[in-house]
């Protein structure tokens, strides 16, 4: 009984403080539409904004999935939708656009989550340059070979946290 309470209590702490899953319905709906792992999306949101809808980076990224306004405008164009920067503060739209973009990167990089996350963080052009310079393929799996330390750490942490989200929330 004591072990059950301790384990159950720890799971509650993990779900509440360490791995929150706010906006779960938006994440799961958008992930299903794009055939993307919702736990990967939750881990991206955790690292990008800590689930804060008003998060803004020094570089100009906005909202839950920290989308650059230019990228979001491009996504809106791809989807045939109107766009203003204020839309990025809407959690449903920010998640939908962020998931669409992440899925687009996954398609571009052959389903490789490492490369897609690196591109989400450092830009698809940088990842393409690294691939060309270092002769990487879509089967790339060496996180330590990513040249930007911040991106290396980002990819590693997001992938680790995806496993925590999966363990805590998978049905």
Helical H segments across 17-66, by residue range: 24-34, 38-49
Tokens of 76: 């809106």
C-alpha R_g of the chain: 17
Overall residue count recorded for the chain in this entry: 171
Contacts of 87 (CB under 8 A, 6+ apart): 72, 76, 93, 94
β partners of residue 56: 62
User: Which residue in the list 14, 28, 48, 163 is annotated as catalytic?
Assistant: 48
**8-state DSSP, 19:** S
- Angle at 128 (CA atoms; ends 126, 130), nearest 5 degrees: 70
DSSP-based three-state secondary structure for 144 = helix
Count Cβ atoms below 10 Å from residue 70 Cβ, excluding itself: 10
160 flagged as catalytic? no
- Could you give the CA distance from residue 159 to residue 116 in angstroms, rounded to a whole number? 11
Which residues are identified as catalytic?
A: 48
């Amino acid at each position: 009984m004591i072990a059950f309470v301790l384990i159950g209590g720890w799971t509650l702490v993990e779900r509440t403080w360490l791995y929150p899953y706010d906006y779960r319905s938006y994440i799961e709906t958008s992930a299903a539409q794009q055939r993307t792992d919702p736990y990967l999306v939750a881990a991206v949101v955790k690292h990008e904004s800590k689930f804060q809808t008003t998060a803004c980076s020094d570089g100009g990224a906005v909202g839950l999935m920290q989308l650059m306004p230019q990228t979001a405008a491009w996504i809106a164009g791809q989807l045939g939708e109107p766009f203003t920067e204020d839309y990025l503060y809407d959690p449903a739209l920010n998640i939908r656009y962020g998931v669409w973009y992440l899925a687009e990167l996954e398609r571009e990089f052959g389903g490789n989550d490492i490369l897609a996350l690196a591109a989400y963080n450092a830009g698809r052009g940088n990842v393409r340059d690294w691939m060309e310079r270092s002769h990487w393929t879509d089967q790339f799996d060496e996180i330590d070979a990513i040249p930007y330390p911040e991106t290396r750490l980002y990819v590693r942490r997001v992938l680790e946290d995806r496993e925590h989200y999966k363990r805590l929330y998978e049905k």
